[in-house]
A and B are shown apart, each in its own frame.
Chain A
Amino acid sequence: MPDQLKVRLVTPDRILVDQTVEAVEVPGKSGYFEVLYGHAPLLSEIGAGEVRLHGGEAGEQRYVVARGFVEVLPERVTILAESAQKPEEIDSGAVQEQLQHGEKLWNEAGDDAEKYAHANEVIAEAEAKLESAGAGKH
């Protein structure tokens, strides 16, 4: 089909996803956006959240990603993320630990804006993971 979108999800370790889909939802830093075939070229950072693939060969797919950015070209979307997991791979114990670690950082951050932002990032990542792990069970 001519109007299909190539999506690639790349992590430091390997290329996690390389397939064609109809649409992909990406968690941009300033909110989710959905990309269809023919989207204008776009470069954005991604926040913690889910990448959702719609209408691919393997059906609906979700990946929890954090820390990275995305390049959108009319016929191709490439997502670079430092961490990317399937919701069912998430270890909720480890995430809880991460969440607590984030909260500890948050409490210790004081007036330091940099530390504060870092703590918020850690918390957001953990919460995004928890949310999608929970959503997968329903």
Chain B
Amino acid sequence: MANVLDLRRRIRSVRNTRQITKAMKMVSAAKLRRAQERAISARPYAAMLASVLESLKRRAEIYDPETGECRHPLLLTRPEKRILLVVVSGDKGFAGAFNTNIFKATANFISENGEKQIDIDTIGRKGRDLFRRRYPAAQFSETHEENQRPDRQRGSAIEVFGGPTAALDRINYDAIRELTDEIISLYVHEEIDAAYLVYNEFKSVIQQRVVVERLLPIVSLTVREIERAEEPSLEERERAAEAALSAGVSLYPHEAEAAQKQLEDEAKNFGTAEVDYIYEQPPQEIFADVLPRYVTSQIYHATLESIAAEHAARMTAMDSATNNASDMIDSLTLTMNRVRQAAITKEIIEIVSGAAAL
């Protein structure tokens, strides 16, 4: 049996670990609150964009009235042979199954579309590292002629693109816009036939799921096209709720934000008033201008949600770790006391039997 000194050391070490996980939990809770605010304050813009597009759609004559053909390249659908996946993961580990879930969803998607060519673009360091290890990078031959797109040298069915490298904490709209511009130009030049976004959706601390959403082609502006979604189990939700409660994070941030809600409702009506607008530019032109922005705002929104989800997942994971450490300390303390007691008892027996032998 272990001796008292060893056990005491063990307890001290576990206690130190608990201190760290507790601190990480509180830090994540604070970051979560900030990320949540960021995600929520980004909503009006996205909602307004969507609604103005929706109202423009009616006037912009996207479909040629004679042939019924679509006029905007981003609305064109083609048979999906080449797919671009944009995977939004976290920057750091220690967030429970957060990153694993994303990768699992991506792997499932890839294996279901095994016969197609798939490119992967990543946002977040964890995903970038993983997919770079697993799949070869896309190779382009240099072209020196102007106005020509670089030739793609495809070596493997699944390849990885660069993606933005900024840390997620500091990621801004411009970085996402660059990524979107790239994706859109790939789509317009028919180098990909569809683009999907894999990310962690964040509704609230207890409502998160991994979502695969179609980005391009845009078929509907108001309904999000979710290919598949993986909901967390009830148990996981309870766990998250507990963690949030002990960290002082409100479970339903929306309740406190009635004003925000009203704003969002108003945002939905943006540009849809039943009046005949004077269009400074032809509606088609405005439509063509706004559509790429819509895609950007979708990716941006997904990134912000994923950041919030990451902090929430880390908070939950660290809360579990703290609880486990506490349990471990309890059981170790119990064992230690037992061992000490046993030693004392043994000594007493020795003394007593020694005295009895006299």
Contact = CB atoms under 8 A, between A and B. Distances in A.
Interface of A: 10-15, 28-30, 40-45, 67, 69, 71, 73, 78, 80, 82-83, 110-112
Please provide the 5 A-B residue pairs with the shortest distance between their CB atoms, ordered closest to farther. A44-B280, A14-B41, A41-B275, A43-B277, A42-B278
Given A14-B41, A14-B42, 11 more contacts: A11-B173, A28-B280, A30-B281, A41-B278, A43-B277, A44-B279, A45-B281, A45-B286, A45-B289, A111-B146, A111-B147
A78 B42 contact: no
A52 to B, nearest CB: 18
A13 B41 contact: yes
A88 B285 CA distance: 33
B173 A43 contact: no
A71 B271 contact: yes
B49 A80 contact: yes
B132 interface: no
A112 B300 CA distance: 29
A40 B278 CA distance: 8
With a 10 A CB-CB cut-off, give which of A28, A29, A30, A69 has the most chain B CB atoms.
A69
Contact of B42 (A13, A40, A42, A80): A13
A106 to B, nearest CB: 14
A126 to B, nearest CB: 14
A124 B278 CA distance: 25
Contacts of A12: 42, 45-46, 173, 297, 300
B98 interface: no
Interface residues of B, number: 32
A15 B279 CA distance: 24
Contact of A82 (B41, B48, B293): B293
Given A14-B41, A29-B280, A110-B147, A43 B293 contact: no
20 contacts: A11-B45, A11-B173, A12-B42, A13-B38, A15-B44, A15-B263, A28-B280, A30-B281, A41-B276, A43-B278, A44-B280, A44-B281, A73-B273, A80-B48, A80-B49, A80-B52, A82-B173, A82-B293, A110-B146, A110-B147
A25 B147 CA distance: 39
Interface string B278-299: 1111000110011001000100
B276 A42 contact: no
A69 B147 contact: no
A48 to B, nearest CB: 14
B173 A42 contact: no
A28 B277 CA distance: 15
A30 B277 CA distance: 17
A119 B68 CA distance: 34
Contacts of B279: 42-44
A88 B177 CA distance: 25
A75 B53 CA distance: 21
Nearest to A10: B45
A30 B279 CA distance: 12
B270 interface: yes
B280 A43 contact: yes
Contacts of A10: 44-45, 48
Contacts of A110: 146-147
A112 B146 contact: yes
Interface in B236-270: 263, 270
A81 B280 CA distance: 17
Contacts of B278: 40-43
